[in-house]
Amino acid sequence: MVDFTLTDEQKALRELAHDFAEKEIRPVAWEYDKDGTWPQDIIDKAWEVGLMNVHAPEEYGGPGLSYLDGCLIEEELAWGCSGIATSIGANGLAAAPVHLGGSEEVKKEYFTDLIENKALASFCLTEPDAGSDVSGMRTRAVRKGDKYVLNGSKCFITNGTYANWYTVYAKTDPDAGHRGISAFLVRRDDTVTVDKKEDKLGQRASNTATITFNDTEVDAKYLLGEENKGFKLAMMTLDRTRPGVAAMATGIARAAFEFATEYSKERVQFGVPIAMHQAIQFMIADMATKVHLARLATWNSAVLLDQGRRNTLESSHAKRFAADAAMEITTDAVQIYGGYGFIKEYPVEKLMRDAKIMQIYEGTSQIQRLVIARETLLPRRIEEQATATA
């Protein structure tokens, strides 16, 4: 029997995350957004209460929470501010390929640093000329004895300015397309430079930077997985992190839905609260449905991971639907506020700006559709071929 009833521990975890978002994030979120400043004080508090590195394995000192547990936390933090939530949670994206492909020695070193020393880490895949086209990356890693030498730039790197570690994807066989990509764990040193901090439309409390590796030497022990198998590692990583992104999109959507609902009860037009008008009621009802379904899809994609099952299709469903829903809901929330929704004094314009990135990072909504189409059509194609040759 399918059952998404949360345990008492999960309810307490969600309450902890909600209280943190309500008391520590919400009161300052719009100030951080306005100035685009780094929320180090909130990151430190999140680390202290156990809301960072939540998937770090217990054997390395982490809490070892489930993927569903992580989604509960990420929805609540994003409800507070998705930019700050992204800053808090970025270690999880960088850590996933280390957990999947690192040796025991490397995992112990890396996770110990994250947990005990409050280290930060960034995931470095995207490049200026290679966004969704991962195989077009130009960053190179050349083997020299017991080291690799990395050269190249990565853009749109979350927490890049402040990271102590980078999970970097580079070409070890430049002529092999996506089959020539390898993944490395790179500790920051003087050869790693921050070339640009992006001034963004939304999620302005999240640091986004261009990072360049200039003859950066990496010990061969920090190769993650096998050489030239980095693309598969990246895809496995995104299967594991997309439920969290979907949860954040759900948090943004829920925040906009709640603001719009309360405003509709207070705003009087034509002698009655606008919530009395059927046009507004239908918009609110659509918002409620989309939030509900986004959460269900998110939880389903996370539970499959917790059961040790493949979730590629379900994580793409969840990420695509939740991201698109967040954009639709925040846009409608601005509409419900009317002219006030367009003013920075009111909260929903920030949520609308924050929502847009959810359709772009960790695989655009268009890429999710490609994945969904492939996963949907490929089994049928195999079945048809088998029938034709029988």
Residues 90 and 168 in one domain: no
Contact predicate 89/144, CB 8 Å: no
Q: Which of the listed residues 116, 140, 162 is the one where a domain comes to its end?
A: 116
The dihedrals phi and psi of 132, each to the nearest 5 degrees, come to: -65, -25
Name the token pair of 99. 């957990």
Give the chain's domain count.
3
Name the token pair of 124. 């470095």
Distance CA 7, CA 28 (A): 31
Q: 3-state class of 354 per DSSP?
A: helix
Name the catalytic one among 362, 375, 383, 384: 362
Whether the per-residue pLDDT at 242 is higher than 70: the answer is yes
322-325-326-328 Cα dihedral, nearest 10 degrees? 170
* Residue 1 domain-assigned (yes or no): no
* Residue 98 domain-assigned (yes or no): yes
Residues 368 and 237 in one domain: yes
Q: Which of the listed residues 116, 141, 157 is the one where a domain comes to its end?
A: 116
Q: Which of the listed residues 82, 116, 150 is the one where a domain comes to its end?
A: 116
Token pair 């954009």: residue = 327
Report the sign of the C-alpha dihedral through residues 73, 199, 33, 326, in that order. Answer: negative
Residues 135 and 183 in one domain: yes
Distance CA 213, CA 209 (A): 13
% of the chain surpassing 90 pLDDT: 93
pLDDT for res 132: 85
Residues 204 and 318 in one domain: no
Distance CA 371, CA 102 (A): 27
In angstroms, the Cα distances linking 42 to 119, 161, 215, 317 are: 15, 17, 35, 31
- Window from 121-125, 188-192, 244-248, 385-389 with minimum mean pLDDT: 385-389
* Residue 56 domain-assigned (yes or no): yes
Name the token pair of 198. 């992006």
| Range 166-185 average pLDDT | 96
Question: What is the pLDDT of the chain when averaged over all its residues?
Answer: 95
Whether the per-residue pLDDT at 379 is higher than 90: the answer is no
State pLDDT tens for residues 35-62. 999 999 999 999 999 999 999 999 999 9
* Residue 390 domain-assigned (yes or no): no
Residues 62 and 132 in one domain: no
Helices (H), ranges, the chain:
8-20, 26-35, 40-49, 67-80, 82-101, 104-116, 230-266, 278-306, 312-337, 348-356, 365-389
Residues 64 and 38 in one domain: yes
Name the token pair of 315. 């994580």
70 φ/ψ sector (left φ>0, alpha ψ -120 to 50, else beta): alpha
Query: What CATH number does residue 188 fall under?
Result: 2.40.110.10
Burial class (CB in 10 A: 0-12, 13-18, 19+), 6: middle
pLDDT for res 380: 55
State pLDDT tens for residues 83-134. 999 999 999 999 999 999 999 999 999 999 999 999 999 999 999 888 888 8
Residues 240 and 203 in one domain: no
How do beta strands 165-171 and 121-124 pair? parallel
- 362 catalytic residue (yes or no): yes
Residues 170 and 105 in one domain: no
The dihedrals phi and psi of 57, each to the nearest 5 degrees, come to: -60, 150
Full residue range of the structural domain in which residue 206 is found: 121-228
